[in-house]
Amino acid sequence: MDDVLLPGFSDVAAAAKRLAGRVRRTPVLTCGSLDSMAGARLFFKCENFQTTGSFKFRGATNTVLQFEQAEAARGVATHSSGNHGAALAAAAAARGIPAHVVMPANSVATKRASVERYGGQVTECGPDLADREAVIAQVLTATGAQMVHPYNDARIIAGQGTTALELLEETGPLDALVAPVGGGGLLSGACLVFNEKLPSSKIYGAEPAQADDARRSHEAGRLVTTTPDTIADGLRAQLGSLPFALIHRHAERIFTVQESSILQAMRHAWERLKIIIEPSSAVALAAVLDNAAHFKNHRVGVILTGGNVDLDNLPI
């Protein structure tokens, strides 16, 4: 991967300035009972309180703001299982431009409704990445819109990195950070921040064992694809090439967790933190609890990525 294509910490810092007053500075919560369970001091960055209910609004806004007016006027387009689509729709609406979102027909109903509520125009596709890419190509040709990839974009990575930057500003030094990884935009952005601010700290990804392409890729040193089958719908994406380059360089390890651990961690967050998080968010907490000996007596940042749950079809 040519490093000229990769964002750096300066891009995250620029994104933080660009996003000031445009995205929410989400709270960092602690919980004594979860600390006891983990044997560590946990600091939860709660992006479930972000606009549109997930961290994705950061990267989408950072990207939409950088288009020249003539480019922006044609609108933006993307493919998404839900959270990025809603984020892009909201970011586009704030700039007064259209947003086109290609979504799998089996997407969570509430996530599709969220995209449409923020003004996104939804086009359905099949469940596979190839289906998404085929349909988004048609949409781009028909509309002339600007493509905003969910994670394989330096502007997206820089925007997502502001999550980790805010976390450190709130907590001070941490021994480790654990973040979910799907396409890799958030984790790679966090890598940029921690490598700059706390190079001695350890950065870990967390993903479902039934969608473990990031773990396999990290261990193999090259992108490895899998067929995901997990309740964590936001982590079904395949790791992108740009995020992979940063994650492989800076992340210590990718933990994988079973579906039962994801559900249990989600329940713990609901019952103990008293907040609603979605399964994809719970993966990071599950990784910490399943590997408690690894984090014993450490100060650990845990990014809770979103809270968009289908309340009519609760998994727990």
Q: Over the stretch 165-221, which tens digit does the pLDDT of each residue have?
A: 999 999 999 999 999 999 999 999 999 999 999 999 999 999 999 999 999 999 999
pLDDT reading at 107 higher than 90: no
Q: What would the mean pLDDT of 218-231 be, rounded to a whole number? A: 95
Say what the pLDDT of residue 189 is: 98
In whole angstroms, what is the distance from residue 100 CA to residue 40 CA?
43
Q: What would the mean pLDDT of 11-34 be, rounded to a whole number? A: 98
pLDDT reading at 75 higher than 60: yes
Distance set, CA 223 to CA 64, 134, 277, 303 (Å)? 28, 21, 29, 24
Give a three-class secondary structure readout of 170-218: HHCCCCEEEEECCCCHHHHHHHHHHHHHCCCCEEEEEEEHHHCHHHHHH
pLDDT reading at 105 higher than 80: yes
Q: What b/e sequence results for 4-17 when a residue is b if at least 16 CB atoms lie within 10 Å of its CB, and e otherwise? A: eebbbbebbbbbbe
pLDDT reading at 66 higher than 70: yes
Q: Which CATH class is domain 3-53+153-313?
A: alpha beta
In whole angstroms, what is the distance from residue 98 CA to residue 235 CA?
26
Q: Is 69 exposed, middle or buried (0-12, 13-18, 19+ CB in 10 A)?
A: exposed
Say what the pLDDT of residue 229 is: 93
pLDDT reading at 121 higher than 60: yes
Say what the pLDDT of residue 313 is: 77
pLDDT tens digits for 159-179?
999 999 999 999 999 999 999
pLDDT reading at 301 higher than 80: yes
DSSP assignment of 286-303: HHHHHTHHHHTT-EEEEE
Q: DSSP label at 47?
A: G
SS3 208: strand
Average pLDDT, the chain: 95
Give the model's confidence band at 111: pLDDT under 50 very low, under 70 low, under 90 confident, else very high.
confident
pLDDT reading at 4 higher than 70: no
Q: Which CATH class is domain 57-147?
A: alpha beta
In whole angstroms, what is the distance from residue 140 CA to residue 244 CA?
26
**CATH topology agreement for domains 3-53+153-313 and 57-147:** yes
283, 212 contact by CB (below 8 A): no
pLDDT reading at 277 higher than 90: yes
Q: With pLDDT > 90 as the criterion, what percentage of the chain qualifies?
A: 90
Give the amino acid at 82: G
Lowest mean pLDDT among 104-113, 185-194, 222-231: 104-113
Sequence ranges of the domains in the chain: 3-53+153-313, 57-147
pLDDT reading at 139 higher than 60: yes
Q: What would the mean pLDDT of 103-111 be, rounded to a whole number? A: 87
How distant is the alpha carbon of residue 191 from its chain centre? 13
In whole angstroms, what is the distance from residue 255 CA to residue 204 CA?
7
pLDDT reading at 1 higher than 60: no
Tell me which of 75 and 108 has the higher pLDDT: 75
Say what the pLDDT of residue 316 is: 67
Rg over CA atoms, the chain: 18
- Neighbouring-strand partners of residue 253: 204
Cβ neighbours around 224 below 10 Å, total: 17
Distance set, CA 273 to CA 169, 175, 177, 213 (Å)? 21, 22, 19, 30
pLDDT tens digits for 76-95?
999 998 899 999 999 999 99
pLDDT reading at 146 higher than 90: yes
Distance set, CA 37 to CA 32, 165, 225, 297 (Å)? 9, 26, 34, 12
Give the model's confidence band at 129: pLDDT under 50 very low, under 70 low, under 90 confident, else very high.
confident
How distant is the alpha carbon of residue 259 from its chain centre? 19
